[in-house]
Structure 1
Amino acid sequence: MLSSAGSLLMRRDNMPKPDLGYELQQLPDWSRFVFLANFILFLPVFVLINYTFEKVFPVLAIVEDEKPPAYEPLPVEPLANDDMPKPASTSSVPIAGQGRPVTSSFRATWRLLRSTGGFRAIFRGLPCFLAQAVVTALINGITYTVIPYSFVLSNLIGSLACVQLSAAWVHIVITPPSPLKFWSRLPPFKTTFAATWRPTLIFWAASQIVNLGTFGVLYLFGGDQTNEIPQLQGLGSVFGILLVAVLLQVAIQIPAYVVLVRVQASLLPADADTIIPFDRSFNGRIEPVVVGGLGYATVRDAWSSFSKSAWRRIVMLSVKIVAVTFAALCVIFAVIIPQVILLASMGTDNGDGNQDIKIYVVVTRLKQASSTAAAAAAAANICLISYPLSRSLLRLITAHLIPSLAPRAPAI
């Protein structure tokens, strides 16, 4: 109702469509310091959510073996300088519960990271991850410059060129802190490329399917197709698009990522310890090189050794990550929206008599952003339960991409 009233007021006064960027330029000059303070305040929160929760936690859950060891794992922290055992009060590696993996509990996973290196361990592998992102971006830019209209293939080329960095990042995440630099922990390129090019290709194809499907639904529900960017008609269209996007991601992209991470983890050196239980043999499917085996997991090995209960654990972890992300966004909006409203009320009035409507425009746009975030969280919580569909779709994709994955007749 308020939005319709504002539109009628602007039509009555023959006002052009409001430009949010121009209105924000009318804020006081000192408002940039307020936004800078907000950036400094919320930057650790964004890194914690977008890296630790969305990148590190899923890798630990994907790699962890469901069968807990019969012994209690020892703490990975070094002993005291006097070569004496630590007192009994020293906390050991957290365990979620009897017979339950550590990553089945969000708090236990958090405590596990803290127990393996303190606060810095929360951002474990971040330098390697940033280096991988920079190198991939450079390769993508060079490829797109040399080969026009190759923005889709450039991403694949960059991913294949950085297979060492990607595998090393997974190894850093699942192992205790090491004094070695990340470039000293890069696995051999030849072996890494031979092991990961197929899962990398599958993950790239899954990502393109998700992107194309999302954009297709976006233009389908876009309403006015004459615009360069479709204008969504109502919250229902936004919710429908988010629903399809999250469904595609859960059904296709996440299973492909699971296979990729497990293949990369199989390249971990034999003398490297892990902070979580890790079945290096993948239920006896991997044979060492000394006996004529590959020494790493194939796509079939990584997929077949991941059980239904492990899929449920990944889904539940994704739901918890979405819930934590939504709670953090609510707090951020609760802090920023009143600031913008106050700054807009102190903004420069150019004498056109529309100061109140300008404030209304800013507030309306911010409320639309918060509504979109709420719809995204709701759609994610609904869609993160489609394990059977994800397994069937990924089987279909891999069967077409890799003929060796087609079902075989049982041996007689």
Structure 2
Amino acid sequence: MSGVHGQMLGHLVRRGVSAAQVHFSEAGPEPTDGGKTIIVDFNPRKYLPVMIVGIITALLIASVRYTLGEVIASLAMIESPSATAIIESKPQKYADEPDAPLEKESMLPAEATADQDIEITVVNHKPVTARISTAIRHLHSVGGFFGRWRGAGVGAVYHMLHAIMTNFLAGFIGFGIAGHALMHIFSSLALARVHMAWTHSMIAAPSSKSWLRRMVPRKQCKAILLPTLAFAVSQQVTVIMPIAVAFAFGLPQHMQNGSFDFVNTELSRADAAYWMFALLSIPLTAIFVALAILLPASVTLTRIEAALLPEDQETIVPFDRSLVLGDLDLQTRGACRSVFLQAWKSFEPAARLRLIKLYAQMFCLQIFIGLGGVVLMAFFM
């Protein structure tokens, strides 16, 4: 879901910067005295609390984004249902005396001991990722307080390499947004092994080896090319589709100084309904594409990457690799496509709803933190 989320954050940042520019431009020209400019005393200490609150708010939002949107979400994508079977033997029945003491067990006839009942009770365990608090406690038990940021270093390396490669190649070949989308897909394929190492660092048990030494050999990475391609394409579709809808309704032509010109004009009911529908269609399109395309692609990629985890390493949540790989040999023709389809089919509907709920909670928590930061910054202004 990083495509939609990053686009929304970028949009909010751009709107905030443009609003600040409009505010300072409307503040009027610098005060003058007889043609001489008066220098206004600017005290940085006055705005220091605002800057501190802004930095803390940004760090909290980023922390929530990574812990819930990356670590716990990856665990929710791979967690398999687990259960414990409790086997209990019922009291034995005696052929001669129903209430005979246990000391007479040796006197039982052979047919009586053969027909003794065994009661099996199956206890289904609640998934670790069913609740955020439970998942965070589990991460703390595995990796301590910093367990909630598992794999953050590898993720930073991946995103840095991806951004450098994408921007450099996109600037080299040009073609605007289309060229950037193509280079984004190319960079994702080129860094597929690094992305898989990042996933493994989030879901695997702690190891003394560095993430470079734990990388899966290149010969075994054939199975992740197709899901990586699908995920990269779905990311671009999730970003481009809302933009295409906005252009289809002609919204960019009505954008002036960071706002729409029809907001402060008298509109008929039909025009008001049209523009209301146009504005709502953009986020609705983004949500629909994210749930219908991006979410399945992300789940498929993560589950296949988890299935390729080396045999000497275990995941920190229950994960049945046979649900994804089965008895397939990844070196045979057509096996990668079968694994690609099976990875999503094996993801149960209950787990899908749990993952969507997790993303919704993450988004609401980020909005709450952002609004709290804005209120505090306004208080210190």
Q: TM-score, normalised by structure 1?
A: 0.64
Partner of 1:329: 370
Which residue number in structure 2 is paired with residue 197 of structure 1? 225
Distance in 1, matches of 2:198 and 2:63, equals 17
Is the alpha carbon distance of 1:299 and 1:283 closer, same or farther for their aligned partners in structure 2, counting shifts above 3 Å?
A: closer
1:209 to 218, 230, 237: 237
Aligned twin of 2:159: 133
Matched, 1:186 2:212: no
C-alpha change, 1:195 and 1:334, in structure 2 (3 Å) is same
Provide the C-alpha distance between the structure 2 equivalents of 1:265 and 1:54, rounded to a whole number of angstroms: 17
Change (3 A) 1:285 1:242: same
Contact 1:69 1:277 in 2 (8 A): no
1:177 Cα deviation (Å)?
A: 2.2
Is the aligned partner of 1:34 residue 2:49?
Answer: yes
Is 2:301 the counterpart of 1:260?
yes
1:272–1:330 CA distance, 2 compared to 1 (3 A): same
Query: Which structure: larger Rg?
Result: 2
Query: Which one has a larger percent strand, Structure 1 or Structure 2?
Result: 2
Deviation at 1:44, TM superposition (A): 3.4
In structure 2, how many angstroms separate the alpha carbons of the residues matched to 1:174 and 1:292? 29
From the superposition, tell whether residues 239 and 119 of structure 1 become closer, same or farther in structure 2 (CA, over 3 Å). farther
Q: CA deviation at 1:191?
A: 2.1
Q: Distance in 2 between matches of 1:52 and 1:33?
A: 28
Partner in structure 2 of residue 20 of structure 1: 23
Moved more, 32-41 or 240-249: 32-41
Kept in 2, the 8 Å contact 1:219–1:230? The answer is: no
**Which letter does structure 1 place at the counterpart of 2:139?**
L
Higher RCO by CA contacts (8 Å cutoff, separation 6 or greater): 2
1:34 Cα shift? Answer: 3.0
SS of 1:278's partner is coil
Partner amino acid, structure 2, of 1:215: I
CA distance, structure 2, for counterparts of residue 70 and residue 297 of structure 1: 32
Report the CA distance between 1:170 and its aligned residue. 0.9
1:302 paired residue among 334, 343, 351: 343
For 1:213-232, list aligned pairs within 5 A. Answer: 213-221=241-249, 223=251, 225=253, 227=255, 231-232=259-260
Whole-angstrom CA distance in 2 between matches of 1:138 and 1:155: 10
Q: Is the 8 A contact 2:61 2:370 kept in 1?
A: no
Specify the SS of the correspondent of 1:197. helix
Q: Tell me: CA distance 1:167–1:70, structure 2 relative to 1, closer, same or farther (3 Å).
A: farther
Equivalent in the alignment of 2:60:
45
Q: Deviations over 1:184-226 (max 9, x none)?
A: 222122322x111111111122222222211022234554616
CA contact (8 A) 1:68 1:277 kept: no
3-state secondary structure, aligned to 2:182: helix
Q: Quick check: 1:104 aligned with 2:127?
A: no
Distance 1:55 1:23, change over 3 A: farther
The whole-number CA distance in structure 2 between the counterparts of 1:265 and 1:283 is 9
Following TM superposition, where does structure 1 have runs of at least 4 consecutive aligned residues deviating by more than 6 angstroms? Answer: 23-27, 289-297
Identity of aligned residues (%): 25
SS at match of 1:52: helix
Deviation at 1:305, TM superposition (A): 1.0
| AA of the residue aligned to 2:364 | A
Residues of 2 paired with 1:129 and 1:18: CA distance?
Answer: 34
Give deviations 1:358-377, integer Å, cap 9, x for gaps: xxxxxxxxxxxxxxxxxxxx
**Equivalent residues, number:** 298
